[in-house]
Structure formats: structure tokens, C-alpha cells
Amino acid sequence: MISQKRLMFIAIVFLSLILLLIYRIADIQLISTNSFSKHKINLIEESVSQRTHRFTINDGRGYFIDRNGELLSTDVKPQIVVFPSLIKDKWPIAKIAEIVQVKPENLREMLAHFSKPGTLSIQHEITVEQMNKINSLEIPGLYAQLVTRRKPLPFANHILGAVGEDPKLINQKYPDKLDKGTVTITTKTGKNGLQYTFDPFLISEGESQFIYHVDRQGNPLFGLDVKYRSQTNPLYPLHVKTTIDKKMQETMEKYIDFYGLESGGAVLLDVNSSELLAMASRPLFTSKTIFKNEDKMTAQQIPGSIFKIVTAAAAIEDNKIQDNRQYDCNLNIYGKKDERQLGLLNFKESFAQSCNKTFGDLANEITDSNPEWISEYASKLGLLQKNGWSGKIYHLDHFSHFYNEEYGQVFSQKKKIEEYRSPLAISQTAIGQLDVKLTPLAIANMMATIARGGPWKEVKAAESVNFANETELITFSDHEQNSESLSPYTMMRLQALLVDVVKDERGTGHALQSLPFQVAGKSGTAQKGTASTLNNKWFAGYFPADKPRFALVVVDLKHDQTNRTIPIFSEIARELMDISEEN
């Protein structure tokens, strides 16, 4: 026989379970309807969503256009939207088929496969005139509309970036908008690239949709009408006018893929303004590898002989150049026999043919009078700072155009400065080895700075943020360097040296002589260490050399025996000149 205490205990347990169940029901039905669980789910909205058939015409997120007004991140095309719940036998199939120029039987087959709202899969693109004719039929469940869709990831992959759902990021960045209900935890947000940096201006505050409500059996709740819902503010969504040239971006991507560049990329700047015209990085990221494949163009890379430009600038300004002096370029910086055996060369020839011994010797001579010269001149050429545009705009104190851009370095913070004072360490640093790491973006900007004779400017990726009616909300003014820069004479000497790299028959860039215009530039090969069989291979330059318009850097981070950088540079440069003449 069960004791009274045990019965009391069982009764308390059951009562507790019932009270807990009652509280749970009350929490779902009455208390937390607007913010249920740690994910802050709006149960009312979710309930309505289960009884709603919808088709999104525009997700309400802002978009990017290129410098000429061409769409970059989205496509806008006429589409025919179908709501399958409203398909009726009395639809004028023959008339619809005639307008869209398909066979009636094919149209019937298309309609039979719809299980949820979607668009007709017509092989050819319909015209706005056909779209208007469809709408004139006034068929419930069939609507022609300009539909906006995001472009697939491969185009301008890293610079534009991607969007996706990220409840944690939404809670972190937009608590005010969440409280006001203008965004939800499912609102798509920028994950990287310009989509991330410009997210405060691009984030959607309302979609444009066709909406149709049904009951549990799929029958219409509010008649046969499909409702149209859009943002209430006609000035939204905003759009960003970038500095990118769509044709130039396509050209760049075409040739780095054609030559099989697996890791690395290219950067193209306008010489006069230092505005970004195109940028591509490989490997591409996908939705699964979005944070694993960083943008190689804004990340530190070992520059190799590209850094000899810095050493040359310091030697010129410190009056260490003697035109008749010969350097033994049969030796390397270790004093041993060099495999290239370049012979005795003067300074000009050493730069064109990239003799390491010359620049190792000069570096040590400069150090005797100025031990801090390496950092000083690397900074004067803009290589150690972030090169992307940054500043305070609107209500954002630290706004940057480029996502996760890294600083350059000549010395590792993990080592003591004394470790870089030996003659060998100075020589290694002077030729861009040891711990020197620079971003391709910074190197491209250095080339633009030299080409125009200074001053150094921050690289802009966008011109303005605009309202839907084209009125400018924000414009990005040029940011020029205020600190000390190189003298005009040094700039002139560097320009001449860069031209000789291509003009000299033994110069490392002589293969570019075949172009119908003069190129100025510098090659670079950087060893990644004894454990790696692959090197970094560079060519950085500008063109035309006599009237510079474009600064271009190409880098192969998995260089084997095939030199891809020179052919890629050549093909891109040739086509860019054709494009610029068309414009």
C-alpha cells in the first residue's frame, strides 16, 4: 500500500509538470510571442509565414554599380511569376504562349511542375513589352515583374564579397533596428568584402514581394488577390557607386583564369586618383569556404625584388649612387657564386637585371649613416600602412573601404630589432626577403604614386553612397599623405629605372617590349623558405610609361617553373588600353 507521503510527492510532481506545461503554453501564446527562445524568434510572424505563399521580387538590400553605372552585384530582368495555388484550367494558355513565344504544350508542362511560387523557365529573356502584355491579361496568379537577383559569387568574388544570414552579427551590429522591427535575425547581412564594409548602408529594411495567404488545406484566406508589399520609403534601397570598371574587372579575371593562376591575383589602379579599377584574388571562396580563402590582395605576401624599389629610393636620396661604379653580380648576398652569373653591372643595370649583390651592398652602406632607413623609406612609399580609404563618415567613426586589410611589415614583432642589424640580415631585408611582407594593394599604390610623381593617396573602392533617386548621401573625398615623401628628383630617377627593366634587353621585364606601348615596372621572385618548392612571382608596373594611366600588379603565390605573371600582365595591359580607347 502506497504511503501518504509518497502519494503527496507524486501529486506535487504531477502538479509541477502541469504548471510547467501551462507556463510553456502561456510563454508561447502570450508572453514571448515577439521574441521566443535565445534566438528571439517572432512566433506571430512565423505562424503567418507558414500560411503564406510569397515570391520575393527584390530583397530590399542595397546594391553596387560600377563607375559607369553598370550593375555589379545584382541582375534585374523581366520575369513571369507563377502562384501554383491559383493555376486554373480557364487560363488562356494559347494566348500566354503566343506572347512569350513558346509552344502551348511546353507552357502546360512548365506550369505542371510548380509546387511553390516561382518564375517560368523560358530559355530566352522576355522583353518589357512582353511583360506588359502579360499583365494586361489580368490573370490571377500570373504576374510579370522586373525581378532582382544577386549575381553568382565568382564575379569580383573577394572585392564585392557575399551576403548571408547571421543572427549573431545582426544582434551585435543592429540592436536598434531589431528593436524597431526594421530588420529581423533572418535579414541577410554582408559576410566579407564590400558587402561587409558597406553593410550599414546596404542592409535591407523591407523586401518587395508578392504575397498570398492560405489556410491549412491551401485554400485562399482573403480571396484570390495576391498582395504586393514593398518598402514604404521611396529613397531606399541605397546603392554604392564603386570605382570599379566592370569591363576591366572581367578582363582581369579572364586572363588570370586562362593562365591557370591558382593562388594569387591582380590589382589595377587609376594612376591619377589611386582609385581601384579592378581586383581579383584566387582561389575563389564559396559559401562553404567564405572565411577560409582570404583576399590575397589585401593580405601580407613576401615581395622579393619588388622591395628593391625602396632600397633604390633610399640610395638615391642618400647620394649613394655612383654611375660608374661596378658591382660583382657573379656573387650573391652570401658572397658565394650566384647561379645567374650576371657579371659586373652598374646601378642602373643592376636594377634592370635584379642583381641581389648590388642592393645588399648599398643597403649596408646606407645603414652606416641611417640605421632606420628601411622602415623610413618603406613608409614614405606607403608600404607599411593600410592603403585602403578609411575615415569618419556619417555616424561611423572608423569606416574602411577594404575588408580585413593588413598592414605591411619589414621586421617581425616576434624578433628583437638587434636580430636585423647584421650585414646579412640587412642585405636580406633590402631585397625583400627575411621578414618583409607587403600587400599587393600597397605595392600597386606605390606604383601609382611613382608613376604620377607623388603624393601618396589612399585607395578608394567607392565614389559615393546614393539614394534610390540618385541623390548622393555620402561622397568619399581623396585622402592624401601629409607626411614627408620622396623628392621629385628621386621620383624621376625611379621612373627611369622602372622603364629600363623593360627596355633593357637583359631586363627582367624585357618580354613586355612586344606591347605597342611602353611599360615601366619591376619583377620579383620571393623564396618562401627551405621547406617550400614554390615561390612568389611578381610583376608590378604602370603604363603607358610616357603618360601613365594604369598601375597593375600581378602575383603568383604558387610559382613553379612557369612564369604566369608576365603573360597575364601583358594580356591585361593590352586589352585595358583597347577598352580605354573605346571609352
d(CA 526, CA 384): 18
CATH fold of 246-582 reads Beta-lactamase (3.40.710)
DSSP assignment of 156-196, as one string? THHHH--EEE-HHHHHHH-HHHHHHTSS-TTSEEE-SHHHH
pLDDT for the residue numbered 37: 61
Provide CB contacts within 8 A for 185, sequence distance 6+.
39, 40, 41, 165, 167, 170, 171, 178
d(CA 350, CA 342): 9
74-150 against 246-582: fold identical: no
Q: Which three cell numbers mark 433?
A: 626577403
Q: Give percent above pLDDT 90 in the chain.
A: 63
pLDDT for the residue numbered 568: 98
Looking at residue 80, its amino acid is I
Which residues of the chain carry a pLDDT beneath 50? 43-44, 46-49, 221-224
The full set of domain ranges for the chain reads 74-150, 246-582
Residue 226, SS3 per DSSP? coil
- Strand 239-242 and strand 462-466: the pairing is antiparallel
For the annotated catalytic residues, the residue numbers are 305
Q: Which three cell numbers mark 123?
A: 530559355
Range list of β-strands (E), 295-336: 327-328
pLDDT for the residue numbered 30: 61
Looking at residue 345, its amino acid is L
Provide CB contacts within 8 A for 544, sequence distance 6+.
517, 518, 519, 577
pLDDT for the residue numbered 218: 54
DSSP state of 151: P
Provide CB contacts within 8 A for 54, sequence distance 6+.
117, 209, 210, 211, 212
* Terminal-residue alpha carbon distance, the chain: 99
Beta bridge partners, 162, equal none
d(CA 404, CA 386): 10
Beta bridge partners, 147, equal 77
pTM of the entire predicted model: 0.85
pLDDT for the residue numbered 43: 45
d(CA 451, CA 494): 9
Give the H/E segment covering residue 276. strand 276-282
Provide CB contacts within 8 A for 349, sequence distance 6+.
355, 504, 506
Whole-number Cα distances in Å, 8 to 3, 12, 18, 362: 9, 6, 15, 94
Q: Are 525 and 535 in contact (CB under 8 A)?
A: yes
Residue with cell 601618396: 456
Provide CB contacts within 8 A for 216, sequence distance 6+.
51
pLDDT for the residue numbered 222: 44
CATH 3.30.360.10 fits 74-150, yes or no: no
